[in-house]
Structure 1
């Protein structure tokens, strides 16, 4: 091999080496780019997953809050119902007590009226008895007077009229 050939050979080998190196560099660059793209895709996927998780957490939180609100509303309604029921029971009890008191008062009035009527009847009966007794006494007195007036004259008395 001549020097020129040798030189050409070296240049060809060097060029081939350069080409190989350039190819390797390009391949490495492509690999790096692919790696970067993969990493970016992975990062994007992670960000999307995180975003989805955050959205799910927010939705879950909203659902919990809604459930709590519903529970609170139900508790409030239940409490209001209990209070209304208690108030109604108290009103009913009060009405029953008032009715009972009214009945007792009415019974007392009736008893007093009955007592008063009985007393009046007794007074009337007493007056009637007294009147009867007085009448009897008058009749007895009248009878006695009549007897006295109607008895036959004694001898002395008859002489007085002779």
Structure 2
């Protein structure tokens, strides 16, 4: 499994002004609908339901919201860079500006976990995060995310 198989170039965006986690999840759900044809309402509900179990802010300005959805055949992702960091109740209490939302089929088992581990491992890289933060072009952000060593799940 590689990030290039999880996130399509059109599923990478920058958002200049997001004022709440709910608004961000709505924007992500709309983007997932545009790129992957996912039901935006189901996607939004699933993201909010998962977040209610515990915040998905993993530290270092990164959040990994995720959900399992009906009507999805494979793991898919959306990457969003926020120009203005957002409070995400992250484990380190730092605001979040890099968000990788991951969607998996409702009945997926190990694939969902492998994809989540891959994204987490990728975004743990200090240099990669610095490159993402230094760029605003969605094509460049996609290239940074999907290239380089270690961008593949075991």
Q: Which has the higher helix share?
A: 1
Q: Give TM-score scaled by structure 1 length.
A: 0.13
Larger-gyration structure (1/2): 1
